Amino acid sequence: MNDTQEIQAVTFGLGAEVFAVPVTLVREILDYRETFRIPGGPDYLLGLTDMRGEGVTTIDLRLRLGLSPVAPTPATRILVIDIPLEDRVLVLGLVVDRVIEVTSFRADQIGGAPDVGVRWSSDYIGGVVKRDEGFTVLVEMARIFSSQEVAQLSSCAAAAA
C-alpha cells in the first residue's frame, strides 16, 4: 500500500476506546438482540444470533479483549464480519458498545502497532491512527483468535445448529 492509498473502515467503540475494521470485512450491522445461548463455550461466546434465518456465532468483544462487561444499551450493535482464515471464512457477530462511522484512512496516517503494555495484547493491532478526537486502533480480526479458539467457536456453533 503506498502513502496515498486509502482503506475504508467501520469504526466502533468499546467504552472510551475506538477501534476499526476494514469495511470489506463487514457483512452487516444489526441492532442488539439477545442470542440463543450455547453451553460449554468460552465466557466471551454469547451464542447464536439470527440473521435472516442463518445462525451467526456471536461474541462479546469487550470480554474477548479483556475489558469489563457492560449491559447492552440502545446504541449497542452486533457487527457481523467475515474473518478470513487459512481454510475458510468465519462469519462472526461482534457485540460492540456503538458503531461510530464509516471513514477512510490514508496509508501514511497509519502508525505501527505499539507495545501497549498490560491492558491489551497488541498481537491483534494492525496499526493505530491519530485523529483529532484521539486514537483509532485498526484490528486484525484473524489475529484476535488462536486456531484453537476458532476451532472451539466453530464446534460450539455446529453443535447448536
| 30-63 pLDDT, tens digit each | 999 999 988 878 889 999 999 988 899 999 999 9
Q: Cα(14)–Cα(122) distance, rounded to whole angstroms? A: 16
- Give pLDDT tens digits for 73-83: 999 999 999 98
Q: Are 64 and 43 in contact (CB under 8 A)?
A: no
**Three-state secondary-structure class, residue 64:** helix
Q: Cα(64)–Cα(71) distance, rounded to whole angstroms? A: 15
Q: Cα(56)–Cα(143) distance, rounded to whole angstroms? A: 19
pLDDT given at position 118: 44
**Residue keyed to cell 466471551:** 44
pLDDT given at position 158: 63
Tell me the mean pLDDT in the region 105-113: 84
Tell me the mean pLDDT in the region 106-122: 68
